Amino acid sequence: MEKNQIIVIEDRGLVSISGEDAKDFLQNIITNDVEKVNLSNSLFSALFTPQGKYLHEFFLIKSTNGFFLDCDVQSTRDLIDHLSKYKLRSKVEIKDLVGDSNHYSATITSVEFSGKSKIEQHKMVYSSLKGKMGNELHALALTTKDQ
């Protein structure tokens, strides 16, 4: 694998849990300790019913403004539906980042973006996709940041 390479894994779903209550929201409903997750350490967890019936499994990954849940693409919608049942008054946003498998959202941070305009940064990302944009990838909501 090359440095600064983007790999599209087609059979995985990605759910974003963000907002000021994201950590507490997840801590109260998943099977693993959210405190153990940081930007360099992810963990495997699951969601069960209140009666203990298995519903979903996923990898929990820390993001800059919350968490990502990396799950099977076939269960993404159902996982979001179950998480939404527990949202109540929590200040969280639950978002499907994969959507219909050809619309994506990405935030990319790189020191290589320093001193470059947003257009130049986006061109760098598109060139790393090596022709996939407009073919396998229909739409990409892109945010770039320098470190």
**All domains of the chain in start order, with CATH:** 12-96 (3.30.70.1400), 103-145 (3.30.300.90)
Predicted local confidence at residue 70, as pLDDT? 92
pLDDT tens for each residue of 14-56? 899 999 999 999 999 999 999 999 988 999 999 999 899 999 9
Give DSSP secondary structure letters for 118-147. Answer: HHHHHHHHHHHTTT-BTTTB-EEEEEEE--
Which pTM was predicted?
0.64
Judge whether 101 and 73 are in contact, CB under 8 Å: yes
3-state helix, strand, coil in the chain (%, to 5): 25, 35, 40
Summary mean pLDDT of the chain: 85
Predicted local confidence at residue 110, as pLDDT? 87
Nearest to 102 by CA among 129, 75, 127: 129
Who has greater pLDDT, 86 or 11? 86
Give DSSP secondary structure letters for 23-41. Answer: HHHHHTTBSS-GGG-BTTB
Confidence category of residue 108, pLDDT binned at 50, 70, 90 = confident
Q: Whole-angstrom Cα distance, residue 37 to residue 62? A: 6
127: number of CA atoms within 13 Å, CB side?
Answer: 7
Structure tokens given for 101: 């498998």
Most confident of 5-19, 30-44, 113-127, 130-144: 30-44
For residue 74, is pLDDT > 60? Answer: yes
